[in-house]
A = this chain, B = another copy of it.
Amino acid sequence: MKLIVAVVQDKDSNRLSDALVEHNHQATKLASTGGFLKAGNTTFMIGTEDENVDDVLKIINDNCKSREQLVAPISPMGGNADSYVPYPVEVQVGGATVFVLPVDQFEKF
């Protein structure tokens, strides 16, 4: 038995939840902030048998992998037109920090 603790960006949180449910993995979400990832984030705790750890890691990677995203420029609405970038820019989004913890004992009451 392992307890997988995964910190992911809020924007990937619902998609990860859905994917874990689809694959029949149980998870608990904790509200978390700052740190490992700059934006708002969510901490998942997923209890799983040793033989399913790789499957859970793959699901996390598939749904939360750090990637580049094109962001459309926002027009400068009365702001400083000098700083206006008139084309989409690439920003890094997503990413996950994952700890696989050993479990001495597991109980369901």
Residues of chain A having any CB pair with chain B under 8 Å: 1-3, 5, 7, 17, 26-36, 41, 43, 45, 47, 53, 57, 60-61, 64-66, 94-109
A57 to B61, CA, bound (A): 31
Total identical chains: 3
- A103 adjacent to B107 (CB under 8 Å): no
- B34 adjacent to A32 (CB under 8 Å): no
- Residue of B17, B43, B47, B57 touching A107 (CB-CB under 8 A): B57
- A2 adjacent to B47 (CB under 8 Å): no
A106 proximity list for chain B (CB < 8 A): 98-100
A64 proximity list for chain B (CB < 8 A): 109
A-B pairs, 7 with minimum CB distance:
A100-B105, A28-B35, A98-B107, A96-B109, A27-B35, A61-B109, A100-B104
